[in-house]
Structure 1
Amino acid sequence: MSNRTYVVGVGMTKFEKPGRRENWDYPAMAKESGTNALADAGIAYDEVQQAYVGYVYGESTSGQRAVYELGLTGIPVINVNNNCSTGSTALFLAAQAVRSGTVDCALALGFEKMQPGSLGSTYDDREQPMLKHILALAELREVAMPPAPWMFGAAGREHMEKYGTTAEQFAKIGEKNHRHSVNNPYAQFQEEYSLAEILAAKMIYEPLTKLQCSPTSDGSGAAIIASEAFVDKHGLAGQAVEIVGQSMVTDMRSTFEDNSAISLVGGQMSKTAAANVYEQAGLAPADVDVIELHDCFSTNELITYEALGLCAEGEGGKLVDAGDTTYGGRWVVNPSGGLISKGHPLGATGLAQCAELSWQLRGTAQRRQVEGASVALQHNIGLGGAVVVTAYRPAER
């Protein structure tokens, strides 16, 4: 990358069960996360030159309405919607604007105000964007509802059939992420469950029990992205986190030609984006210390281990059994509790991941801190489809 790009401020709200906070609408969510990010960077909103605001559910120009809580400065405000990868897409666009030299400071902000229960469609008078994926999977597996756990559960079943992965190995991921979330005050759930409790929870779509599925959530996250000149001008090098690699990939021919549920839920997209990032950053998986990845379901976390190159294809279960993805292991994956336990307000998820990794690299993650963390990797995916993978290092160390 020609121009160095940094995260200089992050903020988020606590993620909540939809409707739990009375009268908590999206402008208030955005005000909270955005104000926190600006305060973290020590700058005023009038220093922000562009804003990229992500959400999945909402009317057009909700992005403008959200950031008007921070100020009315006339800057370009771009609304972003990319399903579950919306937050990291806003981050990608803000970083791209800074990296290109178009601006020196940009805001990426995401929020979601969701309905309880499984995700549903808003417009029923046109083709659903996921229909192509659903029809392709229906040729491989008997259709079940709701669609999301069916699709990711089918990918898990494929992994079990091909590689001998067990339901218990997937459940161990749920156990780990719930255990991690106990130390995260921003998490929707902060309760530890035993492996037996994870396995005994209500079955949603085998092998996925309820405690291995991310919930619907309300909440917001934000990040301030800045150039090297801006960092120097404001003396922010001590807290700045450099984006040393970033790649966004959408569906490829392999998604539909592999005859694979794993490919249909983004396995090849994730693998391609990760490879791009490692090449850009001059890093290998072994160099990474801490990872926030898209565990919308425990099956996807295991599949993503392989896509990110943490292990060979088919060996994700061994990684779990060895304890290599928690404290004391080779990597700490989802120290925040991940989507499964922290929550998944779609537009905010990618920015919450960015916030967690920024805190980890600054050494300010408190009881969640990964000792000596110096390289972080973020993975955020949305079906239909898009994935963003980002690598970070501290500006000073």
Structure 2
Amino acid sequence: MSQKTYVAGVGMIQFAKPGASASYIEMGAQAVRQALQDAGIGYELVQQAYAGYVYGDSTCGQSALYEVGMTGIPLINVNNNCASGSTALFMARQAVESGAVDCALAFGFEQMQPGALKNFWTDRPLTMGKGFDSAAQVFPEGIGMPGALMFFGGAGREHMEKYGTRMETFAAIRAKASRHAANNPLAVFKKVVSTEEVMADQVVWEGVMTRLMACPPTCGGAAAIIVSERFAKRHGLRTDVSILAQAMTTDTPDAFDPPSMIEIVGSGMTRSAAWQVYDKAGVGPEDIRVCELHDCFAHNELLTYEGLGFCPVGGGEQFVLDGDNTYGGQVVVNPSGGLLSKGHPLGATGLAQCYELTHQLRGSAQARQVEGLQHALQHNLGLGGAGVVTLYGRG
């Protein structure tokens, strides 16, 4: 029999540029301590833990968590590309909801290097082989580009060609992110930029993308304490934020056949996970007023509007032009500033989204606060692939 699950505590440290952060051990431990303090419990009450990270050797989670305590609990290390943090959250929620435990910790961290993401294992087949093979059929000129740029830039270009979307629309998404991040003390980049300034930035793909339209590598940590209702009552914990529904999906064959860059970057995973969540919770996209989604590129933010059902397929540009992605519109998307401005430390990202939405539902997001919320939606994507969509509710 499933138990209702609550987010009892969250923690997030200040994100930083590579080379300017503490070690992953310190970042992970600090985020966990913050989440425990926010929940008002000691580490000895945590029964299981899940650690999300991408760039690290085995058992990095233990190295970070041992700085907090050594109680002998199970700890599972999770590497699911950019969805690692939300995968850790998925597993912690699942453990509590199933009744296996009453208190679980999900935390994530990343100590990243400057520059584009790269593979470190060069003596074996690459992951995402199906994606590269499919992309080569529709986008052979992209071979040789950095992988993330090829995939997400290629998907953006495909949307432009299919629906007439303009490069300026992606620039407007980036400008919106900067306005939101200006109110987030934990964001890395707080400088407000205009659509024109984004367009005038260094071109990384003529007619498709400037540098500001891509999220930068950053370092950081975030954590969440997930508890059952009976545990919360027993220890007098807050129950004002619950996880109403959550789904994690992987790719299906139509992600690669027929070949489409939009599908290769996970639009199908997003649609599937979102509608599973909506169906389970009995809500629809029209009920969502705030959303933290995976804007690793401005182009993917627009694709995700459509995948989550905020607008029709092909309607992403009009959604932006109507101002429906910000305050005063239909959905406030990425009030934190998103990956584009807040930063994207891969393993921490999904839990940083949880941190933001928990504060939004508590009413404690300060200048970023979206008023009158009953629900909050989270979307986190990892190519290769994993798509995680989480719906939070008040109480």
Aligned pairs for 1:235-254 (under 5 A) are: 235-238=236-239, 240-254=240-254
Q: 8 Å contact 2:172–2:194 — kept in the other structure?
A: no
Q: Provide the residue aligned with 1:108 in structure 2.
A: 106
1:347 is paired with a residue whose SS is helix
The separation in 1 between residues aligned to 2:327 and 2:258, in whole angstroms, is 35
After superposition, give the CA deviation of every residue in 1:267-290 in whole Å (9 maximum; x if it has no partner): 011000000000011111111110
Query: Would you say the 8 A contact 2:102–2:231 is kept in 1?
Result: yes
Partner Cα separation in structure 2 for residue 149 and residue 326 of structure 1: 26
Shift of 1:205: 2.6
After TM superposition, the structure 1 = structure 2 runs for residues 284-295 of structure 1, keeping only pairs within 5 Å, are 284-295=284-295
The structural deviation recorded for 1:204 is 1.8
Q: Is the 8 A contact 1:50 1:75 kept in 2?
A: yes
**Range that drifts further, 74-83 or 249-258:** 249-258
SS at match of 1:389: strand
What is the 5 A alignment of 1:302-317? 302-317=302-317
Structure 2: how far apart are the matches of 1:304 and 1:153?
14
* Distance in 2 separating the partners of 1:306 and 1:233: 42
SS at match of 2:326: coil
AA at the equivalent of 2:125: E
Output the CA distance in 1 between the equivalents of 2:209 and 2:110: 25
Q: Which amino acid aligns with 1:310?
A: F
Which residue in 1 is equivalent to 2:13? 13
Which has the higher mean CA deviation after the structures are superposed, 207-216 or 330-339?
A: 207-216
What one-letter code is carried by the residue in structure 2 that aligns with 1:28? E
**Aligned equivalents of 2:218, 2:75: Cα separation in 1:** 24
Measure, in 2, the Cα distance between the counterparts of 1:73 and 1:59.
22
CA distance in 2, matches of 1:130, 1:178: 31
Q: Say which SS state the counterpart of residue 378 (structure 2) adopts.
A: strand
In structure 1, how many angstroms separate the alpha carbons of the residues matched to 2:149 and 2:389?
A: 23
Give 1:237's aligned amino acid.
R
1:234 is matched with 235
Using the alignment, how far apart are the partners of 1:291 and 1:271 within structure 2?
15
Q: How far did residue 241 of structure 1 move?
A: 1.1
Structure 1 residue 375 and structure 2 residue 375: aligned? yes
CA contact (8 A) 1:171 1:195 kept: yes
Residue in 2 that maps onto 1:392: 392
CA distance in 2, matches of 1:199, 1:131: 33
Q: Is the 8 A contact 1:208 1:297 kept in 2?
A: no
Shift of 1:130: 2.1
- Residue by residue, what CA displacement relative to the aligned partner does 1:34-88 show, whole Å, maximum 9, x if unpaired? 0100000000000000000011011101111111111000000100000000000
Name 2:58's counterpart in structure 1.
60
Give the alignment's Cα RMSD to 1 decimal. 1.0
2:117 alignment partner in structure 1 = 119
**Gaps spanning 5+ residues in structure 2: where?**
none
Which residue in 1 is equivalent to 2:269?
269
Q: Give the Cα–Cα distance (whole angstroms) in 1 for the partners of residues 250 and 236 of structure 2.
A: 37
SS in structure 2 of the partner of residue 246 of structure 1: strand
CA distance in 1: counterparts of 2:181 and 2:145, whole angstroms = 28
Q: Secondary structure at the match of 1:356?
A: helix
Aligned length: 392
In structure 1, what is the Cα distance between the partners aligned to 2:238 and 2:65? 26
Q: 1:110, CA displacement in angstroms?
A: 0.2
2-structure distance, mates of 1:47, 1:30: 18
Q: Does the 8 Å contact 1:168/1:199 carry over to 2?
A: yes
Q: Answer yes or no: is the 8 Å Cα contact 1:150–1:205 preserved in 2.
A: no
**Equivalent residue, structure 1, for 2:189:** 189
- Of the three residues 21, 26, 29, the one matched with 1:28 is 26
Matched, 1:216 2:217: yes
* Distance (Å, rounded) in 2 between the aligned partners of 1:312 and 1:389: 19
CA contact (8 A) 2:39 2:238 kept: no
The amino acid of 2:45's aligned partner reads E
1:282 alignment counterpart: 282
AA partner of residue 235 (structure 2): H
Residue type at the aligned position of 1:7: V
Q: Deviations over 1:338-397 (max 9, x none)?
A: 0000000000000000000000000000111111222100000000000100000011xx
Offset of 1:32 from its aligned partner? 1.1
Please list every run of 5 or more consecutive structure 1 residues that lacks an aligned counterpart in the other structure. Answer: none
The DSSP-based 3-state class of the residue aligned with 1:348 is helix
Query: Equivalent residue for 1:345?
Result: 345
Matches within 5 A, 1:79-228: 79-141=77-139, 142-143=141-142, 144-206=144-206, 207-228=208-229
Question: Per-residue CA shift, 1:165-222, capped at 9, x if unaligned?
Answer: 1111111100000111011111111110011110111122341211111110110000
Letter of the aligned partner of 1:13 in structure 2?
I
SS at match of 1:378: strand
1:147 offset after TM fit, Å?
1.3
Query: How far did residue 234 of structure 1 move?
Result: 2.2
Equivalent pair of 1:149/1:208 in contact (CA under 8 Å): no
Deviation at 1:236, TM superposition (A): 2.4
CA deviation digits over 1:137-185, x for unaligned, max 9?
Answer: 0111112411101210111111111111111111110000011101111
Kindly provide the CA deviation profile for residues 85-142 of structure 1, in whole angstroms up to 9, marking residues without a partner as x. 0000000000000011000000000000011000011110001102321121011111
Residue 296 (structure 2) aligns with: 296
CA distance in structure 1 between the partners assigned to 2:198 and 2:31 by the alignment: 32
Counterpart CA distance in 2 for 1:139 and 1:179 is 38
